[in-house]
Chain A
Amino acid sequence: QEQLVESGGGLVKPGGSLRLSCAASGFIFSDSYMSWIRQAPGKGLEWVSYISGSSRYTNYADSVKGRFTISRDNARNSLYLQMDSLRAEDTAVYYCVRGHTILTYWGQGTLVTVSS
């Protein structure tokens, strides 16, 4: 049974930093591309970033490029998103997702609120 559990969300001031984590189980994590997708309150879905199984390939949406960093630790079956220079418009539920083209399985998400 695949499982993705996000953590690390919370309230942060504009300009601050936050690190999200995602614990994966039930599938071969190291073989899987992984993505972060976000959803602002009451809004639609926005792709944020993805990383290949070996960490060789990464890609970012223009809206977060240079501020967010995706990484993974295959020994710990964990995915991360380091978010720096946070802005109000980064407020959203952040989902950890298996895959990068076909988004097969989604975690339940963690809420990030950027507000003073």
Chain B
Amino acid sequence: EIVLTQSTGTLSLSPGERATLSCRASQSVSNNYLAWFQQKPGQAPRLLIYGASSRATGIPDRFSGSGSGTDFTLTVSRLEPEDFAVYYCQQYGSSPYTFGQGTKLEV
């Protein structure tokens, strides 16, 4: 089983700043099949990025994903007030498909 580690539990930033969230895999993620999700309190997760760098439908271009192999990054170029939430990475390159433990982005 691939273990995903999101090393930063909580990231404190302000609107307008740049956010960089990391996700490290215990072994290489096949085909860079890595996704990022955003979850706000009381809501279901929302797909942001898949395939490490492809934005999902309707996702603003201030969200971008990068990385390959075992190291992946989600970048939010200029934080908007609605971006403060919990972010999860997920690998779907090998079963069981696993999630990171999440990074809380707070003001």
Contacts and interface: CB of A to CB of B under 8 A. Distances in A.
Given A45-B88, A101-B33, A106 B99 contact: no
Interface in B40-56: 43-47, 50-51, 56
Contacts, number: 46
Interface string A94-105: 010000111111
Contacts of B37: 45, 103
A102 B45 CA distance: 13
Interface residues of B, number: 22
B45 A45 contact: yes
Among B37, B43, B44, B56, chain A packs the most CB atoms within 10 A around the CB of B44
Contact of A47 (B47, B51, B99): B99
B70 to A, nearest CB: 19
A55 B69 CA distance: 32
Interface of A is mostly: loop
A44 B88 contact: yes
A101 B44 contact: no
B45 A106 contact: yes
Contacts of B92: 100-102
Contact of B50 (A47, A102, A105): A102
Interface of B is mostly: loop
A52 interface: no
Interface in A39-78: 44-47, 59, 61-62
Contacts of B35: 102-103
B12 interface: no
Nearest to A4: B44
B90 A45 contact: yes
Contact of B90 (A61, A103, A104): A103
A104 B47 CA distance: 6
B99 A44 contact: yes
A9 interface: no
B68 interface: no
Interface of A: 44-47, 59, 61-62, 95, 100-109
Across chains A and B, which 7 residue pairs bring their CB atoms closest together, nearest first? Answer: A106-B44, A101-B92, A45-B99, A102-B50, A47-B97, A44-B101, A44-B102
